[in-house]
Structure 1
Amino acid sequence: MDQLISWFTSQGGAVDIEHFGLAEFPGQGWGAIALKDIPEGHVLFAIPRTLTLSTRSCALLDLFGNNSWTSFQLHEGWAGLILCMMWEESMVEKSKWFQYFASLPSHFDTPMFWNDEELAELRGTSVVGKIGRSEAENDYYNKVVPAVKSRPDLFFPEHLDRWYTLERYHIMGSRILSRSFQVEKWDPAANDEEDDGVLQPEMDVDGDDPTSAEPNEKDNDDVAEGHGGDSDDGDDGDDPGDVAMVPMADILNARFGCNNARLFHEQLELRMVTTESILAGNQIWNTYGELPNSELLRRYGHVDVFDLPGGGQGNPEDVVEVPANVFVSPIIDISPKGMSVETLQERIDWWLEESGDDTFVIEAQKGLEISPPLISFARLLLLSPKDWERAREKPKLPKPKLSEEDGPAVLDVISQGLQRMLDEFPSPIETDWELLSKPDLPLRKRNAIIVRAGEKRILLEVLNEVGQLQKSRTTESKKRKQPGQTGSRAKKSKR
């Protein structure tokens, strides 16, 4: 790692080697360490924008030609950046980033590299549907391979089997997923305004001046599936050219609630600045945003485990993502008229047009309550034909809260749907805790069990909450039917 610092400074980077150092941490790999006590607001290092690696800073795009680049769809998603990185690495010592590439990992414990047996341990979790291996490989074969073969003057035929293989493509994509920052073009006008403090996709980069204001804290949202980035880049305004590898900054590790440094961007450079004082010998942490274990595992190959306020262990940021389709069978079973799949699909399509949500997120941090959008969705599916037509004409979604008129059906649908999700997991939670007590458990299996146990814990607690509501409503319903309580029986006893 001394070579990395030497290379970094030789390329115009600045490092405070009196306070900032690199060290290997057990179970975490390389990270940053405070060599002396560091005060808040201290600049640890500065990176010239020209030293960041993106499709803007790499010469390949100009050599290839913008029209050709676009014709191969390399301007969409991450395929273009991956190709740039493969090309730069193929040039070895001739590349400006040669020493930087030497410092990057080539082995990953992210699910992208797991075999089928290992992936089976994640069955039932939200991770499986987000790995994106097939999407990544589709980009490789349909974008990268044709582009490479079209320009043997840039991608030498003798290099193809070494530097441009599918394996190298996955490695480069995983480096981006786990270590990239989003570094937007400098816009003086935008930086005069209040900055939201977050640049995505993977680590936070703040646009405020740390000497004049505190960085705004806000979680970043991942927009990438597999290695390809978001397929809707053009629709939401995200520019794949903003995604960049940032030497030195990407070596900082992250852990829930531990971040003590942030990356701020200026016109010509990026600066890593402490956000609180750090004692000598302590690790210097960046932030990835407060992420659930499912996302930590997918992006970075690790999980966070803490003692939870309500007892047990896990990640307080864990969530469960409930797909809308798990409620279709319960609706059909519960509907008194045997609602057809076609009718349900019509309502689901309308829901997607009006709300855009095909997944309902249950967050541990929000008290494990029933997701309000989920209540609205269940009520929509249970509407009578007359009420359905009225809702569609307005158009207006059902209120996202339970009402006395709902009866038990809404809770029954939610309960059965969540139970179906719980049944998808390969083992009960008690078995998970028993497995985690074994000291010789392989790392990937241990991480998978921690992820699925965290999601099961949330599902079980929400199901318990639904069960309590069902029991309460049943009790209230019985009371209303007792003599002297309501309606004609009350009048009869009065006479």
Structure 2
Amino acid sequence: MATRAKRARLSSGRPAPGPPAHALGPSRRPPCAAASPPRAPSSQAARAAGGGEQEPDPVAGFLSWCGRVGLELSPKVAVSRQGTVAGYGMVARESVQPGELLFAVPRAALLSPHTCSIGGLLERERDVLQSQSGWVPLLMALLHELQAPASPWSPYFALWPELGRLEHPMFWPEEERRRLLQGTGVPEAVDKDLVNIRGEYYAIVLPFMEAHPDLFGPSVRSLELYRQLVALVMAYSFQEPLEEEEEEKEPNSPLMVPAADILNHLANHNANLEYSADYLRMVATRSIPKGHEIFNTYGQMANWQLIHMYGFVEPYPDNTDDTADIQMVTVREAALQGVKEEAERLLLFERWDFLCKMEMVGEEGAFVIGREEVLTEEELTTTLKVLCMPAEEFRAFKNWDVWGKNEREENSLTITSIPKLKASWRQLLRDSVLLTLQTYTTDLKTDQDILSNKEAYAKLSWREQQALQVRYGQKMILHQLLALTS
């Protein structure tokens, strides 16, 4: 099972298209995601790419296909649209005990650049298809298989969502995205995505398709289709985790795992995907009563990440992995508020440059605060310490090579220890929170009033509801910090 990874110190914390953030599973919409756009009875994906007609009964066609490729489903589970939180899902026909096998997917049934019908070409052209995201080979495989009338994966595609109705914020009008999600970090993440997708398409993907017109017809030479498939891979692909001894290697490429991507997601999940040499196995992690839905997870993700990469959120307070960001430059801005003299300002920037050299801060970085922990504890502790220490102490600290372990442990920063911080540290943190709260278009009380009024909440569009949940969860964490620093 994936564990929560601390955010890279100098990244913005907003993943542009790149290796999927999850290692355990994709998602649909969670319980209580009211008014979610309905999913089509079977996918329009193949037809959108010029493929064949849809199966009369997509589930029956998929189950028949599972038998042909050796994908073993337990008789205790059923693929269904009934009893699931959204779209297709998997439901327990009988009660399931922890450790029971729910299904096993042979590696030959996985859809990847290696298993697709143009795998040889993709391997030969591997250098041409290299990109920052690392996704291009899989996306080329999907573009080809979707248009192929006799693709072995056609029954699998029939359970995909309709590509034209994906609800990632990248498909929202820009005005709506900014109006609803300002302050959450999502608009900035989407902007980066769209730039990267466009650049990747015109620099790599389109030239490759034009070089192989016999394999990629005009129907798939579309930036919009490519963008839709990027969103699909973002939400539905899996990434096999590296072994501990391989952690310095590049992440594994994403791949599509039939059956596993049918499961909906919950932070409080009841199933987990396990990898072995020949099969990928979905195993129950706790008891699942008869008639209950089977949920997978793909790690611990905040609501802003869920809506950005998957197009849904978990309503407050269900997502126990939710976080709020304080941009690193916001802490610098808060520290500058109290500076009156030019000499003080120059000294503060000297401190900031020192923190940059220590790789504790960056211009696009963020401090990440969870509901129960500070995920960037070392970075935030060191930043508060350096920005708040007296000038003479900073000079000594700056020239001290052995500043590390004991000092960091002595000033360990946790949620519960925040009230015990030095007054200057608490004030700087409080000022930073107040500046962060100003970036939202609404305050906590406004959001709270709507959430507590069922009638008013029901009148919101689905996107408005999802965005409200993202904002509210972040603001609750930030207001908790305000209370702790008062």
Matched-pair contact (CA < 8 Å) for 2:271–2:295: yes
Alignment of 1:474-489 (within 5 A): none
3-state DSSP class of the match of 1:121? Answer: helix
How much does 1:5 deviate? 1.2
CA distance in structure 1 between the aligned counterparts of 2:189 and 2:259, rounded to whole angstroms: 28
Residue 379 of structure 1 is aligned with which of 370, 376, 385?
Answer: 385
- 2:147 is aligned with 1:135: no
3-state DSSP class of the match of 2:158? Answer: helix
CA distance in structure 2 between the aligned counterparts of 1:42 and 1:332, rounded to whole angstroms: 57
Aligned match of 1:325? 329
Aligned match of 2:448? 433
Matched-pair contact (CA < 8 Å) for 1:335–1:382: no
CA distance in structure 2 between the aligned counterparts of 1:20 and 1:360, rounded to whole angstroms: 43
Matched-pair contact (CA < 8 Å) for 1:21–1:34: no
Aligned match of 2:257? 246
Deviations 1:36-79, CA, capped at 9 Å, x for gaps? 2233332222211011112222243422453x431342585212
Deviations 1:364-387, CA, capped at 9 Å, x for gaps? 123x89956324203313445543
- Pair 458,276 (structure 1): closer, same or farther in 2 beyond 3 Å: closer
- 2:39 is aligned with 1:33: no
Q: Which has the higher contact order (CA 8 A, sep 6+)?
A: 2
CA distance in structure 2 between the aligned counterparts of 1:301 and 1:442, rounded to whole angstroms: 14
Aligned match of 1:471? none
Matched-pair contact (CA < 8 Å) for 2:339–2:345: no
Q: TM-score, normalised by structure 1?
A: 0.74
Matched-pair contact (CA < 8 Å) for 2:103–2:282: yes
Aligned match of 2:352? 348
| Structure 1 letter corresponding to 2:294 | I
| Structure 2 letter corresponding to 1:71 | V
Q: TM-score, normalised by structure 2?
A: 0.75
3-state DSSP class of the match of 1:433? Answer: helix
Aligned match of 1:255? 266
Residue 136 of structure 2 is aligned with which of 79, 94, 118?
Answer: 79
Root-mean-square deviation over aligned CA pairs: 3.1
- Pair 5,421 (structure 1): closer, same or farther in 2 beyond 3 Å: same
Alignment of 1:331-342 (within 5 A): 331-335=335-339, 337-338=341-342
Alignment of 1:173-322 (within 5 A): 173-183=230-240, 236-241=248-253, 243-257=254-268, 259-305=269-315, 313=317, 315-322=319-326
How much does 1:240 deviate? 4.2
- Gap runs ≥5 in structure 2: 1-58
| Structure 1 letter corresponding to 2:459 | D
Matched-pair contact (CA < 8 Å) for 1:137–1:166: yes
3-state DSSP class of the match of 1:50? Answer: helix
CA distance in structure 1 between the aligned counterparts of 2:252 and 2:331, rounded to whole angstroms: 36
3-state DSSP class of the match of 1:272? Answer: strand
Report which stretch shifted further, 121-130 or 447-456. 121-130
3-state DSSP class of the match of 2:447? Answer: helix
Residue 360 of structure 1 is aligned with which of 367, 375, 389?
Answer: 367
Aligned match of 2:60? 2
Matched-pair contact (CA < 8 Å) for 1:126–1:320: no
Matched-pair contact (CA < 8 Å) for 1:305–1:315: yes
How much does 1:329 deviate? 2.5
Deviations 1:414-442, CA, capped at 9 Å, x for gaps? 22221111011001111112333311210
Counting matched residue pairs gives 407
Residue 416 of structure 1 is aligned with which of 431, 442, 450?
Answer: 431
- 2:172 is aligned with 1:172: no
How much does 1:26 deviate? 6.0
CA distance in structure 1 between the aligned counterparts of 2:371 and 2:175, rounded to whole angstroms: 29
3-state DSSP class of the match of 2:358? Answer: helix
Matched-pair contact (CA < 8 Å) for 2:367–2:376: no
| Structure 2 letter corresponding to 1:103 | L
- Pair 35,142 (structure 1): closer, same or farther in 2 beyond 3 Å: same
Matched-pair contact (CA < 8 Å) for 2:300–2:321: yes
How much does 1:86 deviate? 1.0
Aligned match of 1:475? none
| Structure 1 letter corresponding to 2:232 | R
Report which stretch shifted further, 28-37 or 355-364. 355-364
How much does 1:170 deviate? 1.8
| Structure 2 letter corresponding to 1:262 | N
- Pair 24,286 (structure 1): closer, same or farther in 2 beyond 3 Å: same
CA distance in structure 1 between the aligned counterparts of 2:155 and 2:392, rounded to whole angstroms: 68
Matched-pair contact (CA < 8 Å) for 1:118–1:444: no
Deviations 1:86-114, CA, capped at 9 Å, x for gaps? 121121x3222122122111222221211
- Gap runs ≥5 in structure 1: 197-233, 307-312, 468-495
- Pair 90,345 (structure 1): closer, same or farther in 2 beyond 3 Å: farther
- 2:459 is aligned with 1:455: no
Matched-pair contact (CA < 8 Å) for 1:23–1:33: no
| Structure 1 letter corresponding to 2:223 | L
| Structure 1 letter corresponding to 2:482 | L
Deviations 1:242-268, CA, capped at 9 Å, x for gaps? x211001110112132x2222222221
Matched-pair contact (CA < 8 Å) for 2:334–2:435: no
Deviations 1:327-372, CA, capped at 9 Å, x for gaps? 2222223135345766545533432342445321111123x89956
- Pair 435,103 (structure 1): closer, same or farther in 2 beyond 3 Å: same
Aligned match of 1:52? 110
CA distance in structure 2 between the aligned counterparts of 1:369 and 1:8, rounded to whole angstroms: 41
